[in-house]
Amino acid sequence: MAAIGSYLPHYDCGTIILNVSAATFTKAQKRWRVAYVAICSYRVLLSLSKQNVVRQQKASSATLFHPHFAVEIQPAISYHHNDVDIPKPHSPNHDLPDIDPTELTKMVKERDEVSFRRFGGVEGVAAALLVDPQHGILGNEDDICRRRDKFGSNTYPKPPPKGLFYFVKDAFKDTTILILLACAALSLGFGIKEHGPSEGWYEGGSIFVAVFLVISVSALSNLRQERQFDKLSKISDNIKVDVARDGRRQKISIFDIVVGDVVFLNIGDQIPADGLFLEGHSMQVDESSMTGESDHVEVDRERNPFLFSGSKVADGYARMLVTSVGMNTAWGEVMSSISRDINERTPLQARLDKLTSSIGKVGLAVAFLVLVVLLIRYFMGETKDDYGNKEYNGSKTETNDILNSVVNIIAAAVTIIVVAIPEGLPLAVTLTLAYSMKRMMADQAMVRKLSACETMGSATIICTDKTGTLTLNQMKVTKFWLGQDDMGEIPSNSISPSILELFRQGVGLNTTGSVYRPASGAVFEFSGSPTEKAILSWAVHELGMDVERLKQTYSILHVETFNSEKKRSGVSIRKNADKTIHVHWKGAAEMVLQMCSNYYETNGTMKSMDEDARNQFEKIIQGMAASSLRCIALAYKQISEVNEDGETNKKLNENELTLLGIVGLKDPCRSGVKKAVEICKSAGVEIKMITGDNVFTAKAIAAECGILGPDDSEHKGAVVEGVEFRNYTHEERMEKVNKIRVMARSSPFDKLLMVQCLKQKGEVVAVTGDGTNDAPALKEADIGLSMGIQGTEVAKESSDIVILDDDFTSVATVLRWGRCVYNNIQKFIQFQLTVNVAALVINFVAAVSSGEVPLTAVQMLWVNLIMDTLGALALATDRPTNELMKRAPVGRTEPLITNIMWRNLLAQALYQIAVLLTLQFKGEKIFHVGEKVNDTLIFNTFVLCQVFNEFNARKLEKQNVFQGIHKNKLFLAIIGFTIVLQVVMVEFLKKFADTENLSGLQWALCIAIAAVSWPLGWIVKFIPVSDKPFLSYLNRAGQALGRILHRTQLSFSSLGGGSGKRGEAQTC
């Protein structure tokens, strides 16, 4: 009956009985007909007393009746068992059983063992869900839709994303904006009262419109950024998992999992849904994300079969049966209530916040002085109206006029603050990071943490893996040694059958991979890691391995999964026929060799491994490794079933093994790696390769990739093994760590140790990793780079950036983008500070000397819009250039505003100040124009100066600021848009902007004055600058002044003390 139960899920018995006449029945079909009728009759009887049976059943009766649960007639599917092909029915009718989803959900959530036993264990649940534990669900569209409709999808509702209104409301939290709106309201009220509704609304209304534009552009920019981050988060959440469907192992999205799916779990995987342990070995789960407990939980069929969504596989491997998905899991309930908040402040943003605060304080001080000066001049009667009359005549002036004038003065002062405070700096960083993240995604790098974008630009060392990063990770067995014979030209049929059988056992049963052969075709499909797939493929095609036959012939007793420290995996198996037990090991050749005391020859003769034989094998391994081959050895030992205590052996025997053979796997280097390594080296970034491979393989690959040069090969200490590095003293490690280029046979602890040493020496370290055990090093590094294809979910969650194609070339691309982010922000800072310095000085000097501010509130807000938002968009979207990779890395403590930037911005600011103050005081006489036209000339020239200076800001050091400008279409579009809007402001919105029409000659004059900034910028870049930070001179001057004041204070103190003493003496 057990045999029938195991095959029933695969056969469509109803089709056999209904569609085939009794005359044509084969013997097998007649047996199936009898079994089918008997079981169906028995199930009818059972259903009459189902409730009573459920109440009274015991564990033993559960085993008896639940196999009958499995006799559900499945729809169209064809399987081959014992050479009997069961055809597909033409019109399947496959309804899901009447099982309550909440009962399944509750059973797993509450770890309800009573309900679990009542179902009949995991086999009973699988049968109730119409699932074949080996082959999974049918996987066709109808089956998946039915399961999704009944049990739900593996998704959960998220909080609604922030809309435009949220960001508009957020913009109103700015104090200066609120003050401006209050001034606009007062100005509007006084204007309408004084000049009537038709004329009096212009000034107040203009400020309202200008403020609305600033808020709208800011809100739209933030909304765009939010949507960009939301899109990236959806991509990062879309994890791929391995499932069995229709007998075939395939990768699907975590969102496509349905109840009944059989999921394959390996070390580092995230459990995608709630479910039950089907089968596996050494399974340990990290449930800290759900329970907060850091201890790993052991999972097995008997004591604890429950698996929870969101947990991580800490050790072992397994197949699980999905019982609950989406909102029916505890993880789904938690995640649906969490909103992803993009309020992460990067280190660069924190530095810019300080800069913004400092500039804002200066602006506030200037605005306060302007306010005081203008109020004093007004109340002293030194200001005049448009008709040349004094604005303030003491008691003769009406209260409304006084209030209106005071409000205008306050609005002017507040507008200076608006222009002075560089709100564009945070926006520029946000835009740069958002744009860079989007472009990096196209370049196969997904940013998980914003700070990594900018930190990568400062990286001085990259510690990289070998397999899959420097190489293609496309393994193929190219060498095979049996004993001391190279089997390259020798056919496998010349190998002893007993040796061949041992090889098949060691490959087919000691693996986390799988072999699938579709019924329709002869092409095998292999799944698993690249190494596993390569060895499985070799064993199937060269050694004639049949995995299904092996699984039927042998039973797996215990498994030790591959460990990155031991670098091997093992399995103990028992032959079903004679109960003999074999232990098989597979792993790093030189490590497995140390465990062996015998070896086999081609003819099946076992020989003792003496010192000479061991040396010979070591030479074979070294020769293969020097040819860039990964060497894997297979060994075995026959053991007894029980130990002295009478218990089954769980720890696999590692001593006195017999070496079966050694295979060499070729993994070619990626085509662009050598060039990428050269680019990184030219950028002042050192590359270190840390690998678990043999030292000879590591040296060969490192030399091929350009990491290890001819000089390094001769230099002692450039190549070390992990154990050697580990055994150094701390002082020795700190002394030698910079010299190391390659570390072979390293453990995850060695990688972590190297990262810590490098950081202690002041290096900015980037580390690549793909395994679960790489997580500590990825977290410790300044930038953790995980692999998107081979990387485990634990590694990805510990990293800052995911390299989607696992290619080192993409790591070099991330380095370019990191430098580009930093460079783009520096461009914008130079541009913004130029405007700030010029605007503050011009307004302050004009206010103090003449009592008038040359630019109105609306004009200043327009300049603010150009400078902050449009300028940030234009300069923050430049793509990385080759020049960036020819500079040394930016240090952690280097100033954000370099001496080169100070030189450029001060030259441009001084030019603008000189020109605009000349126009302010002498413009009317020089150009023979009225005050209104002169004010318009000042405004127009100031704006055009910023447009021309935007070109200068594109290149901080190079004279040719137009290089590559045609590639940045957005920059050209923004420049064009700014010029068009400026023409509209001057020529068509005269009342709104308080301007006058300019003639063609006057426009040409404004353009000519502004265009001088191009040759000025070109000339200024010839001036050499000191490497010492500019502000350090100011600090030194401040310290000197402080010392002088301190000494003066001491002198006065001593004088005061002396006179006191003399006074006391006289009193005495």
Higher per-residue pLDDT: 1010 or 349: 1010
Mean pLDDT of the region 893-911: 89
Say if residues 448 and 346 touch (Cβ distance below 8 Å): no
* CA dihedral for 376, 378, 383, 389, sign (positive or negative): negative
Question: Helices in 49-100 by DSSP H: which ranges?
Answer: 50-56, 59-69
Query: Which range has the worst mean pLDDT, 605-619, 764-778, 796-810, 1050-1064?
Result: 1050-1064
Note whether 898 and 825 are within 8 A (CB). no
Q: What pLDDT sits at residue 959?
A: 87
Q: Cα–Cα–Cα angle for 951, 952, 958, nearest 5°?
A: 120
Mean pLDDT of all residues in 3-14 = 40
Closest by CA position to 436, among listed 60, 159, 820: 820
Residue-wise pLDDT for 210-262, tens only, equals: 778 778 877 887 787 777 777 777 777 788 899 999 888 888 998 999 999 99
Judged by DSSP in three states, 722 sits in helix
More confident residue, 992 or 483: 483
Q: Is the pLDDT of residue 52 over 80?
A: no
Please report, for residues 8, 9, 43, 202, the alpha-carbon distance to residue 3 in angstroms, rounded to integers and kept in the order given: 9, 11, 18, 92
Residue type at 170?
D
What is the per-residue pLDDT for 8?
38
Q: How far apart are the first and last CA of the chain?
A: 123
Q: pLDDT at residue 14 above 50?
A: no
pLDDT of residue 895: 80
Interhelix angle 673-682/695-705, rounded to 10 degrees, is 70
Find the range with the poorest average confidence among 135-139, 376-380, 867-871. 867-871
- Decide if pLDDT at 665 tops 50: yes
pLDDT at 78: 35
pLDDT at 188: 80
Is the model's pLDDT at 341 over the cut of 60? no
Mean pLDDT for the stretch of residues 454-466 = 90
pLDDT > 50? residue 467: yes
Give the Cα separation of 528 and 465 in Å (integer). Answer: 19
Least confident of 158-162, 565-569, 999-1003: 158-162
Give percent above pLDDT 70 in the chain. 81
Whole-angstrom distance, CA of residue 211 vs CA of residue 222: 17
Reported as a single tens digit per residue, the pLDDT across 753-799 is: 999 999 999 899 999 988 777 888 999 999 999 998 888 888 888 89
Give the tens place of pLDDT for each residue, 951-990.
Answer: 999 998 888 999 888 888 889 999 999 999 999 989 988 8
Least confident of 551-565, 752-766, 894-908, 1019-1033: 1019-1033
Helix ranges (H only) for 70-201 are 101-109, 113-119, 121-128, 141-151, 164-171, 175-195, 197-200
Q: In this predicted structure, what is the pLDDT of residue 61?
A: 34
Token readout for 793 is 């979910």
336 pLDDT more than 80? no
Winning range, highest mean pLDDT, from 158-167, 687-696, 1049-1058: 687-696
Tokens of residue 640, six digits: 């007894």
Tell me the pLDDT of the chain averaged across its residues.
80
pLDDT of residue 9: 42
Identified catalytic residue from 465, 770, 806, 807: 465
pLDDT higher for 646 or 264?
264
Is residue 465 annotated as part of the catalytic site, yes or no? yes
CA pair distance 880, 816, nearest whole angstrom: 6
pLDDT digits (tens, 9 = 90+) for 87-138: 333 333 455 666 788 888 889 888 888 888 888 889 999 988 989 998 899 8
